[in-house]
Amino acid sequence: MASEKLIVGSDGKKRCFWCGEHADYVAYHDREWGFPVDDDHRLFEKICLEGFQSGLSWLTILRKREAFRRAFSRFDFERVARFRARDVERLLANAAIVRHRGKIESAIGNARRALELAKEHGSLSAYIWRFEPARRGRGAPGRVPLPEAVALSKDLKKRGFTFVGPTTVYSFMQAMGLVNDHIEGCAIRSRAERARRAFRRPAGVVQ
């Protein structure tokens, strides 16, 4: 039952179970998760941070997000694409972020691929939103990736992106509002859905 996946916060509001009582999680759940995003830098940021999260909790990454933004030039992929070996070493020495060489090099490589996508489609957003699922309800239960997430993952990999498996990409789609996976009865679900209805998709994206 959906009600079993809701929690009641200290403010009396019902929320998706995963945010718990952590203030950082609650703020992220209430203000960001599931609300549509078309800003290229925010989309790229989330792709990168999902990769850094691999093997860790999102709360860990969320609490380091500002440090990541400083370290990665606010996730301006045109700038990150120009990072070189010395920048990798600089990032590996930065204790405020996750110091994992493979993930750091992945973020830099993905920046170069994102730059190519933006040139091809006009923006990273125009490319990403082509994969929005047609149906407006919740995604598959239990965070099972939707076919569109599998398709996006496959296409990103074909283009040279890394750390973009189907589950990671589905989490990205949930967070960036391509689907509204706030559980029925969650206090934020209807607000996220209103934002999705009002959202103007990039030019050329058909819904």
What tens-digit pLDDT sequence spans the chain (207 residues)?
344 589 998 899 999 999 888 899 999 999 999 999 999 999 999 999 999 999 899 999 999 999 999 999 999 999 999 999 999 999 999 999 999 999 999 999 999 999 999 999 999 999 999 999 986 544 444 456 789 999 999 999 999 999 999 999 999 999 999 999 999 999 999 999 999 999 999 986 766
Q: Is residue 170 flagged as an active site residue?
A: no
pTM (2 d.p.): 0.92
d(CA 18, CA 183): 11
Phi, psi (rounded to 5 degrees) for 16: -60, 140
Active-site pick, 58, 127, 129, 170: 58
Q: Which of 28, 32, 116, 193 is catalytic?
A: 28
The answer to whether residues 132 and 178 touch, using CB atoms and an 8 Å cutoff, is: yes
Active-site residue, 28 included? yes
Helix %, strand %, coil % of the chain (to 5)? 60, 5, 40
Check if 89 is active-site: no
**Could you say which of 45, 50, 132, 148 is catalytic?**
50
How many residues in the chain?
207
Cα 8 → chain centroid: 25
pLDDT at 1: 39
Which positions ≥6 away from 81 have C-beta within 8 Å?
A: 108, 111, 112, 114, 115
Q: What is the pLDDT of residue 135?
A: 65
Rounded Cα gap, residues 137 and 8, in angstroms:
23
Q: How far apart, in Å, do the first and last CA atoms of the chain sit?
A: 30
CB atoms closer than 10 angstroms to residue 102:
11
Residues 153, 148: Cα–Cα separation, whole Å:
8
Angle at 39 between CA 38 and CA 44, to 5 degrees: 105
**Amino acid identity at 147:** P
